[in-house]
Amino acid sequence: MYYNKEIWVASAGDKKISILPKMANRHGLIAGATGTGKTITLKVMAESFSDCGVPVFLADVKGDLAGMCKPGVDSEDMQKRIEKFGLAEAGFEYEEYPTCYWDIYGKAGIPLRTTITEMGPTLLARLMDLNGTQSDILQVVFKIADDDGLLLLDTKDLKAMLQYVYENSKEYSAVYGNMAKQSIAAIIRAVVALEEAGGDQFFGEPALNIRDWFSTGAGGKGTINILDCQSLINSPMMYSTFMLWMMSELFETLPEAGDAEKPRMIFFFDEAHLLFEDAPKALLQKIEQVVKLIRSKGVGIYFITQNPSDIPNDVLAQLGNKVQHALHAYTPAERKKVKAAAESFRENPEFDTMETITSLGIGEALVSFLDEEGRPGVVEISKILPPKSLMGPIDEATRARMIEENMLYIRYNDNVDRDSAYELLTKRVAQEEEALQEAKEEALKAKEEEKQRKLEEKEAERKRKQEEKEAEREAKKKKTAVKRVAKTATGTIGREIGNTIGKSIGGTFGKKLGGNIGAALGRGILDTLFRF
């Protein structure tokens, strides 16, 4: 609980063990074997931060954190705890907290969405488990979309973009470097698998404006944003990538805060081991970097996991506020891990840290928080306070009511599908097909016209020849007719002359001779006539 301007989490005898609000952005760790009390510790911390006016984000992996919207229920056990901790004097009351439920599937909370662009190629490649080559291609596809001014909002956009690059891979490879068609096809298949795992719901608009987490409720209490992860945790890769995206989003969105009196927000990351399992080196470096730098933005990250060894040393070294619940040490490997956990604390001369870790009861923990100077406090065997709100889940009707009554429900509930890469590329492909069809039709028309022109030429040539022939024939005909006329004429003229000559010679001989001479003379006259 928030007491004396400190986040009071546990007590070691009469000593209150509290996180100083100004040191809360130095991150933290809640570790311990299953059932030892990690979730309750998280709940107590989250409530206290809320009381202090700091908004909180947490992942509810089992649904047992949902009860924070209702006050706790009194019991004999609770009364004992209240008395043991002296909580009544400190003003402990069962209380409800301002909560906002989120769910990437949009069922157990307000739909939490982001766009493909905001997720970025690095995290998407991780989400889809792409190999190095495929990841590089995805980076290039993002660059192409950027260069072409195409928005990548949902998985439909990403698929359309990949399909377009696939179909024009030769042209794009020439500009952006080689992209094998098989690799692009493999990425498309991965996007389909991502859609089936819920990516079609998570990616889209309205995308989450992370500033909507920074609100306060009644009495100035910080809002507790609860992401329901009961379904999401079934895809560990998806769960861890989304959590990492949210962390990065906070990091990128928030301005520098400097040394503030209290953090801007506290982010609890349950099942944190999933983030680091099989993570490629580049991603681990990114996580380390975000954890290191996000503190200056006023955000504290608290990792919850079974064993501190689940977290890489470089990250672990940055977690200043630690709660270590009981660990088992049955095997040599477990003993080694317990030893490492014990050695990470500033020793308390009054007890053996390693031995104590294995003998802690439920709700008990070894606790060390940072002091005013940022030094780790001496480790203390502590009992964690009981929470003020309801422990455990809530019924469906309460959840539904809480979701619908939230002001953010109207803003985020309905998916909006504005024009983006998918729509534009569909249009572009249709236009290209239309242009292709038009070009084909043009070519066909030109071919037809050429054919027609040739036919007409042929016909004209044929006509010309025919006319020529006819003219020739006509000319011939004319000639023959003249000849015939001439023949007749020479005959007549000749006969006339011959008769005249014959008559003067006398007898048959005279007639014949006269005829022949007449004919010859007639021809001679006609030839002379024709020459003029």
Ligand X SMILES: Nc1ncnc2c1ncn2[C@@H]1O[C@H](COP(=O)(O)OP(=O)(O)OP(=O)(O)O)[C@@H](O)[C@H]1O
Q: Is residue 36 at the binding interface for ligand X, with CB under 6 A as the rule? A: yes
Tokens found for residue 171: 């042209």
Helices and strands: H and E segment counts in the chain: 18, 13
Q: Is residue 443 at the binding interface for ligand X, with CB under 6 A as the rule? A: no
Task: Report in angstroms how near the CB of residue 119 gets to ligand X at its nearest.
Answer: 28
CA-nearest of 166, 202, 168, 206 to 186 is 166
Quick one: which of 384, 408, 421, 526 contacts ligand X (CB under 6 A)?
A: 384
CA distance 101 to 230: 13
CA dihedral angle for residue 333, residue 339, residue 343, residue 344, rounded to 10 degrees: 50
Task: Report in angstroms how near the CB of residue 270 gets to ligand X at its nearest.
Answer: 8
Q: Which residue has the tokens 């696939």?
A: 166
Tokens found for residue 419: 């024009």
C-beta pairs of 217-222 under 8 Å, 24+ apart in sequence: 217/97, 217/98, 218/98, 220/53, 221/50, 221/51, 221/53, 221/97, 221/98, 222/49, 222/50, 222/51, 222/52, 222/53, 222/54, 222/55, 222/56, 222/98, 222/265
Q: Is residue 36 at the binding interface for Mg ion, with CB under 5 A as the rule? A: no
Quick one: which of 21, 28, 32, 55 contacts ligand X (CB under 6 A)?
A: 32
Q: Which residue has the tokens 């040191």?
A: 23
Strands (E), 123-231: 224-228
CA-nearest of 303, 306, 304 to 288 is 303
CA-nearest of 17, 75, 7 to 44 is 7
Stretch that binds ligand X, among 28-36, 86-94, 179-187, 239-247 (CB under 6 A): 28-36
Size of the site for Mg ion (CB under 5 A): 2
Q: Is residue 68 at the binding interface for ligand X, with CB under 6 A as the rule? A: no
CA atoms within 13 A on the CB side of 4: 10
Task: Report in angstroms how near the CB of residue 58 gets to ligand X at its nearest.
Answer: 12
CA distance 408 to 17: 36
Q: Is residue 515 at the binding interface for ligand X, with CB under 6 A as the rule? A: no
Stretch that binds ligand X, among 35-43, 137-145, 147-155, 511-519 (CB under 6 A): 35-43
Task: Report in angstroms how near the CB of residue 85 gets to Mg ion at its nearest.
Answer: 21
Quick one: which of 363, 376, 393, 491 contacts ligand X (CB under 6 A)?
A: 363
Stretch that binds ligand X, among 33-41, 48-56, 203-211, 443-451 (CB under 6 A): 33-41
Size of the site for ligand X (CB under 6 A): 12
Q: Is residue 113 at the binding interface for ligand X, with CB under 6 A as the rule? A: no
Q: Is residue 39 at the binding interface for Mg ion, with CB under 5 A as the rule? A: yes
The item of Mg ion, ligand X, none sharing an interface with residue 384, based on CB under 5 to 8 Å by kind, is: ligand X
Quick one: which of 5, 15, 35, 189 contacts ligand X (CB under 6 A)?
A: 35
Task: Name the residue nearer to ligand X (CB basis): 32 or 300.
Answer: 32
Quick one: which of 1, 23, 31, 40 contacts ligand X (CB under 6 A)?
A: 40
Q: Is residue 50 at the binding interface for Mg ion, with CB under 5 A as the rule? A: no
For the chain, the distance separating the N- and C-terminal CA atoms, rounded to the nearest angstrom, is: 141
Task: Name the residue nearer to ligand X (CB basis): 37 or 204.
Answer: 37
Q: Is residue 53 at the binding interface for ligand X, with CB under 6 A as the rule? A: no
The item of Mg ion, ligand X, none sharing an interface with residue 518, based on CB under 5 to 8 Å by kind, is: none
Quick one: which of 39, 99, 353, 356 contacts ligand X (CB under 6 A)?
A: 39
Residue nearest Mg ion, Cβ-based: 39
Tokens found for residue 69: 């919207």
Residues lying near ligand X in the complex (CB under 6 A): 32, 34-40, 362-363, 384, 386
Residues lying near Mg ion in the complex (CB under 5 A): 38-39
